């Protein structure tokens, strides 16, 4: 059985035929060539496969592709706009929050989902927002710092454009 | 840090790989895609110990899959790890074997056009098994007379008959131990147990291989060891090395699990050669959990000391459960002795180590490589001694530690060198002050259901494995540095960066040396055909040995460049210096004392090209003859809930003696990460096997391999880091290592903090809430040892999982 | 056999737009409901279940609701945990339910998973059943009734679980919604759990609900998870508390009776001994908190 769906990824439409058992993570990576989203555990425990679905952080390894039909998906590749990094991406570099980098795409998207609804989070709120994202390298310290730095940068940006 | 005005060292620059990694454009081994590529799937034993009677591939082949069985692979035995010299290398591996030795042991593989089809093809393979008795504990394994896990193995090329599943043993004796204990006023003896931690690098291991028209192979593996992988592949598949190209990729974390050439790499190559097409195999997390883990240890440690705190003698007997194969058991037994010997001065010591096979995942190096295990016992013992002798625990350590001017064993008895820099006093005193060490209460004074405790531990790691004479472990790096025609610089080396910034450090050293902008020093893509041998990035050798080699070769290249410049400036080479011209943002060569006589590096390079003088380029191998200790101290404050046994980490003060700190933010990142992994080892990480089935009790899923998360760790403000003001004269611009030192003392520090809160010394890791409550229940308010490990294997017997919680 | 990387099991799928369509699709042998997928996908990946058809219900707008109707809270089968725990009415009237939901997974899981799905997965250690049980939740089951498949039959949650990972649902049936009566004034509920780390399945969890009359406990309900094949109530404790004047000593003594009502085992997460020891502590804490809340204290 195959189903015709359209995946809307990073503002672009991808019409596809998928089998019911195809996992969204694998479709993004192997069929759309968007390799930024990662496989870390396949069982919903590590967050490396995090993407935004209608702006909300979800796990693409726990999602069958056909259920994402017609919904707006953002992967890490969709954050950079016209060569400009999102403040989160810049902050991760600046605060030493990137070591091997494998968890980074998922981590940044979870942080983005947080800052989009809570622009001024406390340390605890940041840590709770990334509870579902594992990092084996950094010990999380610089990641929390980077998310805070980004929130300040976004606030400053907002102030400047007012 | 010597008083130098460094332009790049000690300052944070955006790391070169940063942009690629935050935009999802970094290519990891998982991300390699080749035209015509097949997806492979490894078939793995469902039994802990068995022989294959027959394999029927026909249904898999009907699905169109390429198939690979034991008979399709080279038969010669080998060791997956090529770091030790041949005479110290035990060979008990085959690429695929019909004698499987653990659940998850590879015995066949298939490949198909999609991963789903490969999965289906794997399911269609029919196997008949002869089940053999399986062994899950040291005593149980050693009691076996037949049906051994291995019968005959090879040490170099000599056949060895295995008895009682004993993989190897090692003994080291120095001085007169009996006399030393006789001289002691106090003797402390305990049994220590450390867990079978899983690396859990975020990217499970995998590989892609393309067979080439000339009979060669190109390989994109997840590995820390490019050249060792190449050499092993060439040997096993009988391909001349000039046709074996192993490509360097960023890995999604290693922590030691990629020092050896993982089986998935060998199987991928075998399958690609058989299929005649590119093949990619990526392990699932379940497979990865059965693929490798840290060495667990069980050891008795006996230390004697005089009243004044001077240590007189020590005795250690260690049993190591190494799982289904040797990765580096002999070397590991050696480093246990080495770390022990080099933590505190022991006039006499006796060490015996035994490595035993069991039907579990093979153990391999993991950050620290025996040092966290040993430091746990040694630091706990030192603190116990301080208690018994009523001496200050910090002063006792200062009195006995192996430091400046002394010879230390580095990584075991064959790697010895002299210590030239030592920040231990600063680390201990500064750390003590920052945590409030002198204000900590005695455990007996603590009350209430939430009790705080402060603990400390000191550790170190060697910066690499260099030594004046070659030892058991190879250690050198080959580098090429060249100046491009626009004055930018290319650095070519097979050195790997695990994410800690090793290659950025190398680039900074070159930038510093030449006086060019950091941005103008490029780390070239590397593979084994274009680079000379580098042993691999392990043993905390990345900066000291690896980047150190880069600096040495950069200086060779600089000499050639200066020679060209001297022709132009008409000044002797020895009078020429370099500096960064901030206004031009370019490297400048000038005559010392006559700064107006100068020329940009770019102009020199252009001139050299246009006049056919040549490229300023040089390449050579560099071996370091030292492995200076990178010391660290951790002071930790915890809060123990006396009703639930749960431990909360409140504050950490980490001190590091890394000599010149090249990348401060990344160096801090090493300490933060090392603490998190060490605390995980202390509090909860372990892998257990169900003796009835041979399956992991966590079923290979992260659902039940638990690690501390962001919520479980303190806020950034509660994690303080400082660096000692030292300068390592043998190191590149004064630098030493940090990597493994950032973890080594952490489990001991956390255990010490728990002791300060509860009054209980735990000698078995991990210290779970269940352990704490059990200990509190039996000995409310007392200060004593916890229960010794069980007689079986040192592991708590746990019944099979009968239901998911 | 699938793996966590790829599903090799072939199955069909349906994307109904109404409950009727969904029920029709569910009548086929081997058809299962797919909601958030965070349990079902893993069960497929680990070869614990082998459905022939997945009926995806999150496209049914009518099932995605959280409303207060009359004197009960009604939660549709399509309502995500993340939406439920932030719903204004749930936050103000059922804070303990929010607390229970909040410990589940990370943000991503709660954005995907449904409450109905959580209880249908029927894990003995699930975090929502204890609080739902003490709040007297009911499930509304529909389907497998030829006459009127969409007719909803109410069942108290206590009768819904039949064993570890087993419910009373038959082929063709699904949970359409859950209802909770609005708690009366002078009542309070609380939830407690312990796990190894913050992102974890519970070692043990429990919930308590108290209705207060003056300084007496008019009635108490206690439920625990991870201590029996299904989430269980603690009738021994409940009897000991009913009608009694509340005091620290009463709560302590009553919670120590928990051993009568539980049968914990050793497993990968914890030991029977630890669970037994902790159970009374958690029950006591939950009762203390519920009592405080019944007095209007936060």
Least confident segment among B7-11, B333-337, C148-152: C148-152
The pLDDT tens digits of the residues spanning B665-703 come to 999 999 999 999 999 999 999 999 999 999 999 999 999
- How much is the pLDDT for C9? 96
Contact C162, C168 (CB under 8 A): yes
* Any B CB within 8 A of A92 CB: yes
Contact flag B119-C2 (C-beta cutoff 8 Å): yes
- The DSSP code for B215 is S
d(CA B430, CA B252): 35
Residues of B in contact with C125 (CB under 8 A): 804-805
Contact flag C112-A63 (C-beta cutoff 8 Å): yes
* The two structure tokens encoding residue C279: 């159970």
What average pLDDT does range C201-223 have in this prediction?
97
Confidence of residue B328 (pLDDT cuts 50, 70, 90): confident
Say whether pLDDT at B800 is over 50.
Answer: no
Q: Nearest chain A Cα to B721, which residue?
A: A141
Based on the domain organization, do A104 and A74 belong to the same domain? no
Q: To probe the interface with C, which of A132, A133, A140 has the most C CB atoms within 10 Å?
A: A132
Say whether pLDDT at B797 is over 90.
Answer: no
* Any C CB within 8 A of A117 CB: no
Contact flag C199-B802 (C-beta cutoff 8 Å): no
- How much is the pLDDT for C244? 97
Confidence of residue C189 (pLDDT cuts 50, 70, 90): very high
Residues of A in contact with B205 (CB under 8 A): none
Contacting A residues, span 5-64, partner chain B, CB-CB under 8 Å: 21, 26, 29-30, 33-43, 45-46, 48
Based on the domain organization, do A112 and A74 belong to the same domain? no
Based on the domain organization, do A102 and A123 belong to the same domain? yes
Helices B393-400 and B371-389 meet at what angle, rounded to 10?
Answer: 120
- How much is the pLDDT for B146? 93
DSSP labels, B690-709? -TTT--BTTTT-TTSS----
Q: Nearest chain B Cα to C281, which residue?
A: B643
Based on the domain organization, do A105 and A150 belong to the same domain? yes
Residues of A in contact with C58 (CB under 8 A): 67
What average pLDDT does range B137-166 have in this prediction?
96
- How much is the pLDDT for C298? 59
- How much is the pLDDT for C151? 81
d(CA B255, CA A100): 11
- How much is the pLDDT for A161? 61
Which has the closest alpha carbon to B83: B532, B535, B493?
B535
User: How many domains, chain A?
Assistant: 2
Domains parsed from chain C with CATH numbers: 12-56 (3.30.43.10), 61-181 (3.30.465.10), 187-293 (3.30.390.50)
d(CA B17, CA B13): 11
Say whether pLDDT at B539 is over 80.
Answer: yes
Contact flag A58-C105 (C-beta cutoff 8 Å): no
* The two structure tokens encoding residue B585: 């943002």
Contact C53, C31 (CB under 8 A): yes
For chain C, the residue count is 298
For the stretch B399-406, contacts whose Cβ atoms lie closer than 8 Å and that sit 24 or more positions apart, written own/partner, are B399/B309, B399/B310, B400/B309, B400/B310, B400/B311, B400/B344, B400/B345, B401/B343, B401/B344, B401/B345, B401/B458, B402/B342, B402/B343, B402/B344, B402/B345, B402/B629, B406/B345
Say whether pLDDT at B393 is over 90.
Answer: yes
Rg (CA), chain B: 27
Q: Nearest chain A Cα to B720, which residue?
A: A141
Which has the closest alpha carbon to B397: B378, B409, B382, B377?
B382
- Between B30, B255, B672, which is nearest A39 by CB? B30
Last residue of a domain, one of A32, A59, A78: A78
CATH assignment at residue A53 = 3.10.20.30
d(CA B239, CA B599): 49
- How much is the pLDDT for B793? 33
Residues of C in contact with A56 (CB under 8 A): 82, 111
d(CA B722, CA B658): 11
Residues of A in contact with B675 (CB under 8 A): 139
Based on the domain organization, do A59 and A92 belong to the same domain? no
Check the CA dihedral B241-B244-B249-B255 and report its sign: negative
Say whether pLDDT at B781 is over 50.
Answer: no
Cβ neighbours for B462, distance < 8 A, ≥ 6 positions apart: B410, B411, B415, B539, B540, B627, B628, B629, B630, B737
Contact flag C38-A62 (C-beta cutoff 8 Å): yes
Based on the domain organization, do A35 and A53 belong to the same domain? yes
In chain C, % of residues over pLDDT 70:
97
Confidence of residue C146 (pLDDT cuts 50, 70, 90): low
The pLDDT tens digits of the residues spanning A25-42 come to 999 999 999 999 999 999
Check the CA dihedral C115-C118-C121-C122 and report its sign: negative
DSSP labels, B2-16? -S---SSTTS----T
Q: Prior bond to B766 cis, omega within 30?
A: yes
User: pTM of the predicted model, to two decimals?
Assistant: 0.96
Based on the domain organization, do A40 and A105 belong to the same domain? no
Say whether pLDDT at B414 is over 80.
Answer: no
Half-sphere exposure of B436 (CA within 13 A, CB side): 10
Based on the domain organization, do A8 and A43 belong to the same domain? yes
Contact flag C3-B119 (C-beta cutoff 8 Å): yes
Q: What is the mean pLDDT of chain B?
A: 94
Contact flag C108-A1 (C-beta cutoff 8 Å): no
Which has the closest alpha carbon to A142: B749, B713, B634, B11?
B713
More reliable by pLDDT, B649 or B785: B649
For chain A, the residue count is 162
Say whether pLDDT at B803 is over 50.
Answer: no
- How much is the pLDDT for B801? 27
DSSP labels, B635-650? EEEEEEETTT--EEEE
H-type alpha helices, chain C: 19-26, 40-45, 81-86, 88-93, 95-102, 107-112, 115-121, 128-134, 235-241, 248-255, 272-294
Q: Nearest chain A Cα to C35, which residue?
A: A67
Contact B523, B248 (CB under 8 A): no
Contact flag B798-C266 (C-beta cutoff 8 Å): yes
- The DSSP code for A122 is -
Cβ atoms < 10 Å from Cβ of B607: 16
- Between A41, A92, A100, which is nearest B252 by CB? A100
* Any A CB within 8 A of C42 CB: yes
The pLDDT tens digits of the residues spanning B212-222 come to 999 999 999 99
Contact flag B285-A40 (C-beta cutoff 8 Å): yes
The pLDDT tens digits of the residues spanning B542-561 come to 999 999 999 999 999 999 99
In angstroms, the separation between the Cα of residue B718 and the nearest Cα of chain A is: 10
Based on the domain organization, do A30 and A56 belong to the same domain? yes
- Between C12, C44, C109, which is nearest A1 by CB? C12
Contact flag B669-A137 (C-beta cutoff 8 Å): yes
Contact flag C268-B643 (C-beta cutoff 8 Å): no
End-to-end CA distance of chain C: 50
Contact flag A102-B202 (C-beta cutoff 8 Å): yes
- Helix/strand/coil percent split, chain B, to 5: 30, 25, 45
- Between A128, A134, A142, which is nearest B202 by CB? A134
Last residue of a domain, one of A19, A47, A78: A78
In angstroms, the separation between the Cα of residue A57 and the nearest Cα of chain C is: 5
d(CA B744, CA B728): 21
Contacting B residues, span 480-499, partner chain A, CB-CB under 8 Å: 498-499
* Any C CB within 8 A of A114 CB: yes
Based on the domain organization, do A99 and A145 belong to the same domain? yes
Residues of A in contact with B26 (CB under 8 A): 101
Last residue of a domain, one of A53, A78, A103: A78
- Between A85, A102, A130, which is nearest B22 by CB? A85
CATH assignment at residue A99 = 1.10.150.120
The pLDDT tens digits of the residues spanning A56-108 come to 999 999 999 999 999 999 999 999 999 999 999 999 999 999 999 999 999 99
Q: Nearest chain A Cα to C4, which residue?
A: A42
**Touching partners of B (3+ C-beta pairs < 8 Å):** A, C
**Residues of B engaging C, defined by a Cβ cutoff of 8 Å:** 115-116, 119-120, 122-123, 282, 284-287, 643-646, 684, 688, 697-699, 701, 703-704, 706-709, 711-712, 768-770, 773-774, 777, 798-799, 801-805
Least confident segment among B2-16, B183-197, B650-664: B2-16
Confidence of residue B802 (pLDDT cuts 50, 70, 90): very low
Which has the closest alpha carbon to B613: B575, B564, B651?
B564
Contacting B residues, span 700-739, partner chain A, CB-CB under 8 Å: 701-703, 707, 709-711, 713, 715-717, 719
The pLDDT tens digits of the residues spanning B69-95 come to 999 999 999 999 999 889 989 999 999
Based on the domain organization, do A8 and A71 belong to the same domain? yes
Beta bridge partners of B169: B354
Which has the closest alpha carbon to B602: B491, B483, B684?
B483
Say whether pLDDT at B415 is over 80.
Answer: no
In angstroms, the separation between the Cα of residue B230 and the nearest Cα of chain C is: 28
* The two structure tokens encoding residue C76: 């549709």
What average pLDDT does range B610-627 have in this prediction?
96
Residues of A in contact with C5 (CB under 8 A): 26, 39, 42
Based on the domain organization, do A91 and A64 belong to the same domain? no
Range of the domain at A120: 87-161
d(CA C127, CA C119): 9
Largest CA distance in chain B: 85
């Amino acid at each position: 059985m195959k189903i015709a769906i359209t995946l809307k990824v990073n503002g672009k439409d991808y019409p596809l035929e998928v089998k019911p058992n195809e996992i969204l993570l694998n479709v993004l990576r192997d069929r759309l060539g968007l390799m930024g989203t990662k496989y870390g555990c396949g069982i919903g425990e590590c967050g490396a496969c995090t993407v935004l679905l209608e702006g909300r952080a979800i796990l693409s390894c726990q999602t069958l592709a056909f259920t994402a039909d017609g919904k707006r998906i953002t992967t890490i590749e969709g954050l950079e706009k016209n060569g400009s990094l999102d403040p989160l991406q810049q902050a991760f570099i600046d605060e030493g929050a990137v070591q091997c980098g494998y968890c980074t795409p998922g981590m940044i998207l979870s942080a983005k989902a947080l800052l989009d609804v809570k622009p001024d989070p406390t340390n605890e709120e940041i840590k709770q927002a990334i509870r579902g994202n594992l990092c084996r390298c950094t010990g999380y310290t610089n990641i929390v710092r980077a998310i805070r730095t980004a929130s300040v940068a976004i606030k400053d940006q907002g102030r400047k454009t007012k | 840090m010597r008083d130098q005005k460094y332009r790049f060292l000690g300052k944070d620059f955006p790391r070169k790989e940063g942009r690629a990694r935050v935009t999802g454009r970094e290519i990891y081994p998982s991300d390699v895609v080749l035209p015509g590529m097949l997806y492979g799937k490894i078939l793995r034993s469902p039994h802990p110990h068995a022989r294959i009677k027959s394999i029927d591939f026909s249904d898999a082949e009907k699905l169109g899959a390429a198939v690979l069985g034991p008979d399709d692979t080279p038969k010669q035995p080998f060791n997956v790890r090529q770091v030790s010299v041949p005479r110290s290398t035990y060979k008990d591996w085959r690429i695929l074997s019909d004698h499987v030795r653990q659940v998850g042991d590879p015995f066949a593989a298939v490949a198909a056009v999609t991963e789903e089809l490969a999965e289906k093809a794997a399911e269609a393979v029919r196997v008949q098994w002869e089940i053999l008795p399986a062994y899950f504990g040291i005593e149980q394994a050693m009691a076996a007379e037949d049906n051994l896990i291995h019968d005959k193995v090879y040490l170099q090329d000599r056949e060895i008959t295995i008895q009682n599943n004993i993989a190897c043993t090692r003994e080291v004796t120095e001085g007169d131990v009996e006399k030393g204990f006789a001289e002691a006023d106090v003797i402390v003896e305990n049994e220590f147990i450390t867990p079978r931690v899983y690396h859990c690098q975020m990217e499970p291991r995998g590989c892609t291989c393309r067979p080439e028209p000339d009979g060669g192979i190109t390989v994109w593996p997840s590995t820390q060891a490019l050249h060792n992988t190449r050499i092993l592949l060439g040997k096993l598949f009988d391909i001349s090395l000039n046709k074996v190209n192993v490509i360097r990729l960023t890995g999604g974390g290693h922590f030691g699990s990629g020092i050896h050439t993982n089986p998935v790499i060998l199987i991928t190559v075998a399958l690609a050669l058989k299929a005649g097409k590119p093949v990619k195999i990526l392990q699932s997390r379940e497979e990865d959990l059965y693929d490798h883990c840290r060495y667990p240890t069980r050891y008795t440690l006996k230390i004697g000391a005089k009243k004044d705190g001077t240590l007189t003698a020590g005795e250690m007997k260690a049993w190591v459960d190494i799982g289904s194969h040797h990765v580096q058991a002999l070397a590991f037994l050696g480093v246990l002795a080495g770390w022990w010997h080099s933590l505190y001065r022991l006039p006499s010591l006796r060490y015996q180590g035994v490595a035993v096979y069991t039907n579990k995942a093979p153990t391999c190096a993991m950050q620290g490589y025996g040092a966290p295990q040993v430091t746990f016992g040694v630091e706990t013992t030192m603190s116990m001694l301080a208690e018994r002798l009523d001496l200050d625990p910090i002063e006792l350590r200062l009195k006995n530690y192996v430091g400046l001017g002394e010879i230390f064993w580095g990584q075991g008895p064959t790697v010895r060198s002299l210590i030239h820099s030592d920040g231990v006093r600063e680390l201990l005193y500064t750390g003590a002050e920052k945590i409030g060490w002198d204000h900590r209460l005695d455990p007996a004074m603590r009350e209430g259901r939430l009790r705080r405790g402060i603990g400390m531990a000191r550790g170190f790691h060697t910066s690499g494995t260099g030594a004046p004479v070659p030892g058991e472990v190879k250690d050198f790096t080959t580098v090429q540095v060249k100046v491009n025609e626009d004055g930018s610089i290319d650095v070519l080396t097979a050195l790997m960066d695990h994410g800690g910034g090793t290659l950025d450090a190398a680039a900074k050293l070159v930038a510093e040396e030449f006086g060019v902008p950091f941005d103008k020093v490029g780390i070239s893509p590397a593979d084994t055909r274009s680079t000379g041998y580098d042993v691999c990035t392990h043993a905390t050798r990345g900066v000291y040995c690896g980047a150190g080699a880069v600096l040495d070769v950069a200086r060779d290249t600089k000499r050639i460049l200066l020679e060209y410049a001297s022709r132009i400036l008409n000044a002797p080479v020895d009078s020429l210096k370099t500096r960064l011209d901030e206004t031009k943002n370019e490297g400048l060569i000038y005559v010392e004392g006559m700064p107006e006589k100068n020329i940009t590096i770019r102009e020199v390079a252009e001139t050299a090209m246009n006049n056919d003088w040549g490229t300023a380029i040089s390449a050579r191998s560099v071996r370091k003859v030292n492995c200076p200790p990178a010391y660290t101290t951790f002071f930790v404050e915890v809060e123990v809930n006396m009703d639930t046994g749960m431990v909360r980490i409140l504050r950490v003060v980490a001190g590091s003696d890394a000599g010149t700190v090249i990348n401060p933010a990344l160096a801090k990142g090493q300490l933060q990460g090392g603490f998190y992994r060490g605390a995980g080892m202390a509090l909860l990480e372990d892998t257990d096997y169900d003796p009835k089935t041979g399956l992991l009790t966590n079923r290979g899923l992260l659902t039940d391999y638990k690690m501390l998360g962001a919520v479980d760790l303190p806020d950034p403000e509660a994690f303080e880091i400082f660096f000692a003001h030292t300068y390592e004269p043998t190191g590149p611009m004064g630098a030493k290592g940090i990597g493994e030192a950032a973890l080594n003392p952490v489990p001991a520090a956390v255990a010490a903090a728990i002791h300060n809160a509860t009054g209980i010394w735990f000698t078995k890791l991990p210290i779970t809430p269940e352990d704490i409550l059990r200990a509190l229940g039996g000995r409310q308010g007392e200060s004593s040892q916890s229960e010794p490990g069980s007689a079986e294997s040192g592991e708590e017997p746990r019944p099979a999982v009968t239901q998911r919680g | 056999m699938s793996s966590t990387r790829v599903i090799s099991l072939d199955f069909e799928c349906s994307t109904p737009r109404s409950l009727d369509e969904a029920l029709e699709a569910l009548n086929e042998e081997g058809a299962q409901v797919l909601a958030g997928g965070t349990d079902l996908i893993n069960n497929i990946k680990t070869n614990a279940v082998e459905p022939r058809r997945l009926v995806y219900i999150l496209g049914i707008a009518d099932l995605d609701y959280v409303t207060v109707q009359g004197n009960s809270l009604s939660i549709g089968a399509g309502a995500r945990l993340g939406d439920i725990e932030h719903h204004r009415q749930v936050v103000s009237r059922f804070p303990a339910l929010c607390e229970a939901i909040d410990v589940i997974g990370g943000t991503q899981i709660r954005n995907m998973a449904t409450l109905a799905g959580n209880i249908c997965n029927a894990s003995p250690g699930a975090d929502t059943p204890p609080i739902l049980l003490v709040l007297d939740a009911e499930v509304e089951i529909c389907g497998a009734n030829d006459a009127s498949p969409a007719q909803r039959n109410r069942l108290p949650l206590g009768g819904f679980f039949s064993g570890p990972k087993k419910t009373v649902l038959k082929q063709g049936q699904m949970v359409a919604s859950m209802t909770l009566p609005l708690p009366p004034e002078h009542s309070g509920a609380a939830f407690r759990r312990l796990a190894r780390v913050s992102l974890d399945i519970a070692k043990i969890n429990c919930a308590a609900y108290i209705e207060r009359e003056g300084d007496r406990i008019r009635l108490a309900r206690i439920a625990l998870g991870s201590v029996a094949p299904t989430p269980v109530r603690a009738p021994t404790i409940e009897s000991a508390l009913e009608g009694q004047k509340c005091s620290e000593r009463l709560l302590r003594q009553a919670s120590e009776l928990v051993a009568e009502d539980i049968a914990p085992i050793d497993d990968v997460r914890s030991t029977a001994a630890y669970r037994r020891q902790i159970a009374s502590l958690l029950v006591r804490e939950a009762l203390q908190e519920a009592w405080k809340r019944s007095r209007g204290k936060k």
